[in-house]
Structure 1
Amino acid sequence: MDPAVFSTRLAPPIFDGTSYQVWAVKMEAYLDGNDLWEDVDDLWEAVEHEYEVSPLPNNPTVAQMKLHKERRQRKSKAKASLFAAVTSTIFTRIMTMKTAHEIWNFLKGEYEGDERIKGMRMINLIREFEMQKMKESETIKDYSDRLLAIANKVRLLGTNFDDSE
């Protein structure tokens, strides 16, 4: 690996059990962009798709050995990245899981919440958005940023929240 690339490598976003949707977007981008500084392409693929790495056949070709090694590395690095991206408390809950796909699905199920919980969060955020008033000491940019932050939280929950609103 080029030392210049290594020195600019970003640390994964750390998940502490709050703001799951924000962390998930950041983590997906981190894993998807990981091929910029790793020998293994697209770690996100190992998280998103569960797949088995087939054992090598007798007398494998060089290409088969290379593909086998890359697929094993991709799965291992994706799992290690997820382990590195959570606090110690959350790590103890996922440390026995065997695949990055299993870890991701557990975190999603545990912290994203079911449709009813997401719906309640969305209703509360829309209510909060509608009740916003500009403070006298606030600039238009600050007020706009506050509204946009709420709108983006609604979007992260999977709701189409048009900019015109």
Structure 2
Amino acid sequence: MSSDKYDAFLIHFNGTNYSAWAFHFEIFVKGKDLWGHIDSRKLALDKDIDQDGHAKWEVKDAQIMAWNIGSMESNFILNLRPFKTAAEMWNHLKKLYSHHNTACRF
């Protein structure tokens, strides 16, 4: 039995809690052994060389993107539509919100 149906995000991103949300999300994804998709250690395989490997990578990356979207309030979701990978989504959110939270802490 897969534990995925029991996975829950206790912290939902709301635009003001980036640091706590990012910390929680990072631990969650690392626990699934998929952080390489975010930090670019696990890049997509070339579709022309390894179609099966590329397809498997896409499925895992889409799962991370779904977790990302599922862990935030709905008003942020459409802003992520242009991004095609989990790393692109993560980097976009980090760029927009990590500095904001740093300033608020002081």
* TM-score of the two chains, using structure 1 as the length reference: 0.54
Note the 1:54-93 alignment, pairs <5 A: 54-57=46-49, 65=52, 67-93=53-79
Distance 2:8 2:71 in 1: 8
Overall identity of the aligned pairs, in % = 24
Amino acid at match of 1:79: M
Q: Which has the larger radius of gyration?
A: 1
Once the two structures are superposed, residues 13-64 of structure 1 have per-residue CA deviations (whole angstroms, 9 ceiling, x without a partner) of 4211112111100000111113xxxxxxx2222122172331144xx7xxx7
Aligned to 1:133: none
The correspondence for 2:85, drawn from 88, 99, 108, is 99
- Larger RCO (alpha carbons 8 Å, 6+ apart): 2
Aligned to 1:29: 27
Amino acid at match of 2:27: A
Distance 2:82 2:54 in 1: 24
Task: Provide the aligned C-alpha RMSD in A.
Answer: 2.5
Aligned to 1:15: 13
Distance 1:15 1:52, change over 3 A: same
Aligned to 1:138: none
User: Retained in 2: the 8 A contact 1:83–1:95?
Assistant: no
User: Retained in 1: the 8 A contact 2:65–2:86?
Assistant: yes
* TM-score of the two chains, using structure 2 as the length reference: 0.78
Alignment: residue pair count: 104
User: Retained in 2: the 8 A contact 1:44–1:78?
Assistant: no
Which runs of 5 or more structure 2 residues have no equivalent in the other structure?
A: none
Amino acid at match of 1:10: D
Distance 1:15 1:25 in 2: 11
